[in-house]
Structure 1
Amino acid sequence: MSQKDAAIGLDAPPTTKPQGVGRGAWITLGALWFIYVLNFLDRQLLSILAKPIQDTLNISDSQLGLLGGLYFAFFYCFIAIPVGWLADRTNRVAVVAVACGIWSAATMACGMARNYGELAVARMTVGFGEAGGVPPSYAIITDSFPPGRRGMALGIYNLGPPVGAAIGIAFGASVAAAFSWRAAFIVIGLVGLVAALALILIVKEPKRGGLDPVSATDGPARAGFWETVRMFFSRPTLVLASLGSGVTQIVTYGLGNFAVLFLMREKGMTLENVALWYALVVAIGMSGGIFVSGWLIDRFTRRSKRAYAMLPAISLALAVPFYIAFVWAPSWPLALAFLIGPTFLNYFYLSSSVALVQGEVRPNQRVMSGALLLLVMNFIGMGVGPTYVGMASDFFRATHPENSLQIALYTLIPVYFAAIGLFLWLAKVLGRNDRQAGGAA
């Protein structure tokens, strides 16, 4: 490894057997995972309950897309930066707990909204709170697990979204069918408030960089804000990982925010169908993809860091035909069968990009770097995806009122190829860096 690489603390592929993992690390991972489940469950309720919310508040697809897209993303992405800066200097566990309390209270407010304006403010507040959940958790997990175990640990942590989405689908749809969509928001918010308090009591703050090589912990105890920002955006590997992930999320968030509405309005599903069958597809497909990707990352990045980019590129290429078949399918059972492919393959990028970024920076820059990764990929994906699909659906409704969402979802196909191209570009850069590091060693 070159002196430059050692100075910035690259998490090089291990050449020996990875260190063991203690019980405390698994408790930390489990607690943070549960918080992440609630994080994504709160976030997904809006898309799961889109149709009854539209019926009650009389809002359009464009307005719905803005709620789950640009409005939410603006607060979620940009608040993550000061939160990341704060967490790098304070107790990261406390930051996660306070954030969970804020987004849970805001989720309850969503259930009490009387009009679109009140719902929009509540959703933006959910985004404000959720900004403090994920970046500090990435750093806490990275400091709790040694190199060589982090890909799997982050893969397990990133099972939070599929599990949260699946529970949200099953619970939210069932409660909405039995009571009302408002009750689902209020109950989940109450659970989050209890979880925030429990986190403080269960999880201890790990030592920053305590499990890293000595060279990785060299440098000042606290990294400067602008120093970290300049470092992040000056390094092609970090920028390309962020852009590739962001473009991928245009598909995942665009599809995820409108899949239930599409299946109910244009394929004939009911809330009861959604609660069982759609929940199973998301639980099996997304969780399987994220878990398998974490295992593959740990396995193949020991040979070459190019695997951080090649695995997402290959998985997205394999997902394209399944996605096309899902949008085309004439019935909801057939559509769900094809949807298993994209839900399994669309999320390989997540654990890969997170593990790459966390391993490429110094321990005192991990929270900020995680926040910058989320800023780029979520502002692109979360900000553009749902907003675009909602507006496209309203645009096509004038000429295709029966299948406007189907046409809007078809227009996401070229985005897949843009994401694949960015990850192939990243693979080329990582391969060049591997060769340079090998020559300088």
Structure 2
Amino acid sequence: MKLDRPEIADTLALKRRGWTLALLTLTYFFSFMDRQILAILLEAIKADLKLSDTQLGLLSGLVFAIFYATLGIPIARLADRTSRKRIIAISLAVWSAMTALSGFAQNFTQLMLARIGVGVGEAGAGPPSHSIIADLYPPEKRASAMAIYSLGVLLGGGLGMMIGGFVAHAYNWRVAMMVVGLPGVVLAIIVWLFMAEPRRGLSDAQRAMDAPAAMPSLGDGIAAMWRDPVALYLVAAVTITSLVGYALTGWGPSYMQRSLGFSMLEVSKYVALPAALIGSTSALLGGAAADRAAKRYGLHAQSWVVAVFKVVAFPFAVGFYFVDDPRFALASYFIAALFAGAYLGPTFALIQHLAPIRLRAVWAALTLLVINLIGLGLGPFLVGKLSDHLQPSYGTQSLRWAMLCVALLTPLAIFAYWRAGVVMRRRDATATL
């Protein structure tokens, strides 16, 4: 029996889904490397451009986040209608070029404009990527696929700090920006030429058949998410998690230099790569544990898996700020990292599962909008502002107490993950009656 063209396209997309996931993960890697390289360079930029902690917090978070988050919505609408891989490729080329241009900044305003450009470019990568992964992988495999994709966050952030630190030590922070930014332009060409574009709803055959023929409006997408309490709890949980995560990873290298006595090169050598590898292990374990729990207890258990991982990580994450010995401080830091990255795959997999088929990119964009405006936008800025406020009283230790204050928000995220699982289990039980 001869296959028609749609069946051939579906077969090809599924055959190449591993390659597509690898390209999406590599794109995410470059996204976070370009975004987080600033963390290892903050002290060098502060000295060169004579900036305050508040200004550094703005550059690390709010300035980037406003454009990154708000532009994600219109780009996601476009992604739900047109070629997602082309949007990803164009976005990758834009943010990579703007990262390289950051190295030419001569003052706060110029660096701010370059970071805005990075945010504009990166706005086009996340929602289309989530949508493609959801179309390529069925619900029972989606958390693991999302966990693999999330390795881009952990490896990109860690290797960005490592590469940036080495290059800045050998040359300066400007060259580091260029070295990290330019390779992404080459990857953008590869994505354009070789990434698969799956049919929407490919891995959710029945839901795709039941989906309305007409394209839902943005208002429909917002209303649908607002009416879903599980989605709201998940968004709240991942937003608080992101606020804490962006704040602490964005300022982590500076804290290690100011309070633990590390040099920039030592952070790059001894912290960046181990943290990236440990965090990646956490993400993979979280995704695998969530998929296993879903098969045994139902999809709601994925949210509880994340809550358990976060409970285990919390005392070590907080303990990091109470230990002055660098060896014990890093041990606490690495143990926390072993559990802290587990939320990524299950959270975004659940949100894609809950989203209507034709609104997957929009739901991803809405989630990222809240995560990044509040988490990325306020997290690093809040730490910088608190540090400047506490500096008269605590001197060089002001950053330590500012970061601790933000870390103590984690129990709110744990509660929200637990509650999402409770509501989802009740709803699923009611639906089967």
Residue of 166, 173, 196 corresponding to 1:174: 166
SS in 2 for 1:357: helix
Residue of 356, 362, 373 corresponding to 1:368: 362
SS in 1 for 2:196: coil
Alignment partner, residue 295 of structure 1 = 288
Say whether the 8 Å CA contact 2:200–2:208 is kept in structure 1.
no
Deviation of 1:265 after TM superposition, in Å, equals 1.4
Alignment partner, residue 286 of structure 1 = 279
**What amino acid is aligned across from residue 291 of structure 1 in structure 2?**
L
| Inter-partner Cα distance in structure 2 for 1:278 and 1:221 | 51
| Inter-partner Cα distance in structure 2 for 1:205 and 1:213 | 17
SS in 2 for 1:327: coil
Residue of 209, 221, 224 corresponding to 2:217: 224
Alignment partner, residue 93 of structure 1 = 85
Say whether the 8 Å CA contact 2:57–2:380 is kept in structure 1.
yes
Q: Can you give the 5+ residue segments of structure 2 that lack an aligned partner in the other structure?
A: 1-10
Alignment partner, residue 13 of structure 1 = none
**What amino acid is aligned across from residue 258 of structure 1 in structure 2?**
W
Say whether the 8 Å CA contact 2:243–2:375 is kept in structure 1.
yes
Residue of 292, 308, 315 corresponding to 2:302: 308
Task: Please show how residues 254-265 of structure 1 align to structure 2 within 5 Å.
Answer: 254-265=247-258
Residue of 65, 70, 93 corresponding to 1:73: 65
**What amino acid is aligned across from residue 159 of structure 2 in structure 1?**
I
Are 1:266 and 2:259 an aligned pair?
Answer: yes
Q: Which segments of structure 1 move beyond 6 Å, counting only runs of 4 or more?
A: none
* Higher mean displacement: 276-285 or 396-405: 276-285
| Inter-partner Cα distance in structure 1 for 2:305 and 2:59 | 32
Identity, in percent, stands at: 34
Say whether the 8 Å CA contact 1:47–1:261 is kept in structure 2.
yes
Alignment partner, residue 326 of structure 2 = 332
Q: Can you give the 5+ residue segments of structure 1 that lack an aligned partner in the other structure?
A: 1-18
Deviation of 1:221 after TM superposition, in Å, equals 5.3
Say whether the 8 Å CA contact 1:169–1:278 is kept in structure 2.
no
Residue of 146, 152, 164 corresponding to 1:160: 152
| Inter-partner Cα distance in structure 1 for 2:371 and 2:339 | 18
Task: Please show how residues 139-150 of structure 1 align to structure 2 within 5 Å.
Answer: 139-150=131-142
**What amino acid is aligned across from residue 380 of structure 1 in structure 2?**
I
Alignment partner, residue 23 of structure 2 = 31
Residue of 351, 360, 367 corresponding to 1:357: 351
Say whether the 8 Å CA contact 2:96–2:118 is kept in structure 1.
yes
SS in 1 for 2:166: helix
| Inter-partner Cα distance in structure 1 for 2:88 and 2:319 | 40
| 1:44-89 deviation per Cα after TM superposition (whole angstroms, max 9, x unaligned) | 1111111111111111111111111111111111110001001001
Are 1:184 and 2:176 an aligned pair?
Answer: yes
Are 1:49 and 2:41 an aligned pair?
Answer: yes
Superposed CA RMSD: 1.6
Alignment partner, residue 246 of structure 1 = 239
| Inter-partner Cα distance in structure 2 for 1:350 and 1:145 | 16
**What amino acid is aligned across from residue 265 of structure 1 in structure 2?**
R
| Inter-partner Cα distance in structure 1 for 2:407 and 2:185 | 39
Are 1:432 and 2:432 an aligned pair?
Answer: no
| 1:252-293 deviation per Cα after TM superposition (whole angstroms, max 9, x unaligned) | 011011000000111111122112211133222210111111
Are 1:377 and 2:403 an aligned pair?
Answer: no
* Higher mean displacement: 232-241 or 217-226: 217-226
| 1:377-428 deviation per Cα after TM superposition (whole angstroms, max 9, x unaligned) | 2222112211111101111101111201111112124301111121222122
| Inter-partner Cα distance in structure 1 for 2:305 and 2:373 | 23
* Higher mean displacement: 334-343 or 28-37: 334-343
**What amino acid is aligned across from residue 257 of structure 1 in structure 2?**
G
**What amino acid is aligned across from residue 366 of structure 1 in structure 2?**
R
Task: Please show how residues 395-434 of structure 1 align to structure 2 within 5 Å.
Answer: 395-434=389-428
| Inter-partner Cα distance in structure 1 for 2:77 and 2:248 | 32
Residue of 120, 131, 152 corresponding to 1:128: 120
| Inter-partner Cα distance in structure 2 for 1:386 and 1:170 | 20
Deviation of 1:22 after TM superposition, in Å, equals 4.5
| Inter-partner Cα distance in structure 2 for 1:280 and 1:205 | 33
Say whether the 8 Å CA contact 1:208–1:364 is kept in structure 2.
yes
**What amino acid is aligned across from residue 225 of structure 1 in structure 2?**
L
| Inter-partner Cα distance in structure 2 for 1:68 and 1:357 | 27
| 1:95-128 deviation per Cα after TM superposition (whole angstroms, max 9, x unaligned) | 0011111111110121111000111111111111
SS in 2 for 1:76: helix
**What amino acid is aligned across from residue 131 of structure 2 in structure 1?**
A
| Inter-partner Cα distance in structure 2 for 1:413 and 1:42 | 24
Higher relative helix content: 2
| 1:318-368 deviation per Cα after TM superposition (whole angstroms, max 9, x unaligned) | 112101221112132322111012222222222121000111122211111
| Inter-partner Cα distance in structure 2 for 1:23 and 1:174 | 39
Deviation of 1:306 after TM superposition, in Å, equals 2.4
Say whether the 8 Å CA contact 2:33–2:156 is kept in structure 1.
yes
Say whether the 8 Å CA contact 2:207–2:357 is kept in structure 1.
no
| TM-score normalised by length of structure 2 | 0.94
Task: Please show how residues 190-205 of structure 1 align to structure 2 within 5 Å.
Answer: 190-205=182-197
* Higher mean displacement: 307-316 or 176-185: 307-316
